[in-house]
Amino acid sequence: MKMVTLPVAYMPLVDAAPLIVAQEMGFAEAEGIALDLIAAPSWSSVRDMLAFGRVDAAHLLSPVPVAMTMGLGGVATSVSAVMVLSVNGNVIGVGRSLEDRLRAAGYGFDFADAAAAARALAAVADGPMVFGVPFPFSMHTELLRYWFERSELGQTEVEIRTVPPPLMAEALAAGDVDAFCVGEPWGSVAVDQGAGALLLPGNAIWSYAPEKVLAVRTGWAETEPHLLRRLMRAVWKAGQWLSQPEVRTAAAEILSRKAYLDMPAELIDRALHGRFTISGQAEQREVSCFVEFHKGAASFPWRSQARWMAHRLSQRHGLPSEDAMDRAAQVYRSDLFRTHMSGSEADMPGASEKLEGSIRYPTAVASQKGQLTLLPDSFFDGWVFDPDAES
Amino acid sequence: MEPALTIVVVEDDRDRAIAIVDALKSTGNHEVVVIANASGLARRIVAHAPDIVLIDIDNPTRDMLEELTLASGPLERPVAMFVSGEAGGLAKTAIEAGVSAYVVDGLSPERLKPVMDTAIARFRMVKQMRTELAETRRALEERKVIDRAKGLLIKAKGIDEDAAYALLRKTAMDQGRRVADVAEALVTASGLLR
């Protein structure tokens, strides 16, 4: 097999792990490809590199392909999400001022209960609260908006502003933002810099939220099916490898290298182990399923996940919801996943849609190999998303 | 004469900003404003109601500009980054040159092109200079490490400088590595053994 080099853009984050591991642990090589991993300075840059053909694949925020097909944002090239790279993995944190007020009010920072955290925040708010997020089209924004709307923060004046995570500590110190939602390791970096405390893991709001996807140009997926197949299989293997508890330390070491995240392995380790230092007072909290690369068919691009995001985006931007949901479902390519992963170890669910929010306990479902268990995907307020009822 | 365009350039480096502004002004009677990186960037840009926003592609604050493209955002005329087909080629050239541009909806290609051509040429030059600078810096760093490695060898083995370099070079060739890498390994190892 002739070795082919694929340029792939990514943001240096913990959840870029499947791409980095695919290259470093030989999963790409086994498929006859080499990944030329290009670290990008911004999400706009990742998207543009993909859209204008500088790279063939990209690590992308899960709502970006949905927003692009809805005509939101600067670029309109047709992009397909061929698999989900990671589920969950964000943290919500507050700056020093809010942290002090929450402590004074007796809040315990349990790092678990989203409704209680909202109640505590709403009680100490004085004036509008500004949250920083990495990008307007992001699961960070979606989780925050959902949490605001369906908690006691609904009555509080809140604003969401884009701040690149490396500048978040600075923005908190300058008072430009009061709180933030970022992907790891940036939450832990903020804590270590003494900028604030962590309030919630993202999965306290939605317990199985698609966070990053592997995206390719739709045209490229059609003209290069064999390359796409090799890429998807290599990345899927990397996710499977990452799901073994005993490799986490090694994975953190690989990610910490200068060429990738260029950060202490100890910081990266926190997300991979789900063991967090949440404040300057060294309080420790554990989270299960903080970031998931494999379990529960994590890589499967559910069309219903895309519909949920499209529904939320369409409501906010005043676009027709039904049309947006149909377009979105077509860019989450469960069809390509089935085609290219067939005959591999990956087990696939029988359906391509589920009722997001309806799984309360690990549940065995009909699948190709008959051994698939889906993990809970509930929202903190128990809502179940039924697209037919919403359109 | 066509009314002038308002162009915002997001740039921290003063010298670079001046060079870009001068070049842009040479293309017409445009109003060119320079804004340094800062939080609330989108709002400060909107205050100038620009027709074109230019920003270095490597600038991480670029994601703040994405807010400008939202219809419900603070700008009345949404800004898009070259969406139309005819500007597609221009967008690709711009990206390769290291500049990203946000252009107000409805700005005609005839008015956009001279400004973009100039911006692209200027940013390409800046990028080249930056690459050269990084290359020079790296070469200097490597020279330093090689000198230290030579020093270690001279001391440990009682050989002269030429012999020390020859030894480094031979080791590098035998192992299929670069002289700088062998030197770096030696310096690290000796640091550990000290």
B102 contacts in chain A (CB < 8 Å): 74
d(CA A281, CA A259): 32
From the list A54, A170, A316, the residue facing B95 with the nearest CB is A54
Phi, psi angle pair for A131, to nearest 5°? -105, 135
Chain A residue numbers with beta carbons less than 8 Å from the beta carbon of B60 are 41-42, 164, 166-167
Q: Strand A179-183 vs strand A129-133: parallel, antiparallel, or unpaired?
A: parallel
Please choose, from the candidates B42, B54, B50, the residue with its C-alpha nearest in 3D space to the C-alpha of residue B17.
B54
In chain B, residues with a C-beta closer than 8 Å to the C-beta of A316 are 72
Mean pLDDT of A342-356: 91
Q: What is the DSSP string of chain B?
A: -PPPPEEEEE-S-HHHHHHHHHHHHTTSS-EEEEE---TTHHHHHHTT--SEEEEETT-TTHHHHGGGG-TTSS-SS-EESS-SSTTHHHHHHHHHHTEEEEEETT--HHHHHHHHHHHHHHHHHHHHHHHHHHHHHHHHHHHHHHHHHHHHHHHHH---HHHHHHHHHHHHHHHT--HHHHHHHHHHHHHHH-
Question: Which runs of E-coded beta strand occur in chain A?
Answer: 4-10, 33-39, 57-61, 79-88, 90-95, 129-133, 158-162, 179-183, 196-201, 210-217, 275-277, 284-286, 291-292, 363-365, 372-374
B123 Cα to chain A: minimum distance (Å): 16
Whether the Cβ atoms of residue A80 and residue A213 lie closer than 8 Å to each other: no
Q: Which of A70-84, A227-241, B77-91, B179-193 has the highest mean pLDDT?
A: A227-241
Which tops the pLDDT comparison, A145 or A174?
A145
Contacts of B40 in chain A (CB under 8 A): 161, 176
CA gap A355, A304 in Å, rounded:
7
Burial of residue B25, with CB atoms counted within 10 A of its CB: 0-12 exposed, 13-18 middle, 19 or more buried: middle
* A317 in contact with chain B, both atoms CB, cutoff 8 A: yes
CA distance A314 to chain B (A): 12
Q: Does the structure show a pLDDT above 70 at B77?
A: no
pLDDT at B62 over 80: yes
Q: Which residues contact A330 (CB under 8 A, 6 or more apart)?
A: A69
More confident residue, A46 or B120: A46
Q: B63 and A44: CB-CB below 8 Å?
A: yes
* CA A324, chain centre distance (Å): 21
Distance CA B122, CA B26 (A): 12
Q: Would you call B72 and A54 a contact, using CB atoms and an 8 Å cutoff?
A: no
Residue B51 CA to residue B34 CA, distance in Å, equals 14
Please give the structure tokens belonging to residue A155: 């009555």
Lowest mean pLDDT among A118-122, A181-185, A194-198, B117-121: B117-121
Instruction: Return d(Cα A154, Cα A265) in angstroms, integer.
Output: 38
Which 3 state secondary structure label does DSSP give A354?
coil
User: What's chain A's average pLDDT?
Assistant: 93
Provide the number of CB pairs (under 8 Å) joining chain A to chain B: 85
- Chain B residues in contact with A318 by the CB 8 A cut-off are 71-72
Q: Give A61's contacts in chain B (Cβ within 8 Å).
A: none
Lowest mean pLDDT among A28-42, A176-190, B85-99: B85-99
Flag if B100 and A48 touch (Cβ within 8 Å). yes
pLDDT tier at A189 (50, 70, 90 boundaries)? Answer: very high
Give the C-alpha separation, A38 to A24, whole Å: 14
User: Distance between CA atoms of A209 and A62, rounded to whole angstroms?
Assistant: 9
Q: What is the pLDDT of residue B25?
A: 85
Count other C-beta atoms under 10 Å from residue A229's C-beta.
18
* A73 backbone φψ class: left, alpha, beta (φ>0; ψ -120 to 50): left
CATH numbers and ranges of domains, chain A: 4-88+209-260+292-355 (3.40.190.10), 90-208 (3.40.190.10)
The overall average pLDDT reported for chain B is 82
A373 touches chain B (CB under 8 A): no
pLDDT at B81: 67
Average pLDDT in the B97-126 region? 80
Across the interface, of A42, A49, A52, the residue whose CB is closest to B60 is A42
Residue-range domains of chain B with CATH: 6-132 (3.40.190), 135-193 (1.10.10.10)
CA of A140, closest CA in chain B: separation in Å? 14
Look at residue B84 in the predicted model and tell me its pLDDT.
Answer: 45
User: A276 by DSSP, 3-state: which?
Assistant: strand
pTM for the model stands at 0.86
Residue that is written with structure tokens 């915002």 in the block: B8
Check pLDDT > 70 for residue B88.
Answer: no
User: In this complex, do A177 and B67 lie within 8 Å of one another by their Cβ atoms?
Assistant: no
User: How close does chain B come to A215, measured CA to CA in Å?
Assistant: 19
Predicted pLDDT at A222: 95
pLDDT in tens, A267-326: 999 999 999 999 988 899 999 999 999 999 999 999 999 999 999 999 988 888 899 999
The complex scores an ipTM of: 0.83
CA A350 – CA A241 distance, rounded (Å): 24
DSSP annotation of A175 reads T
The predicted-structure confidence for B132-186, as pLDDT tens digits, reads as follows 888 888 899 999 999 999 999 999 999 999 999 999 999 999 998 999 999 999 9
Using a CB-CB distance cutoff of 8 angstroms, which residues of chain A are in contact with residue B57?
Answer: 41, 45, 48
pLDDT confidence band for B71 (50 / 70 / 90) = low
pLDDT at B18 over 80: yes
Contact A136 B66 (CB under 8 A): yes
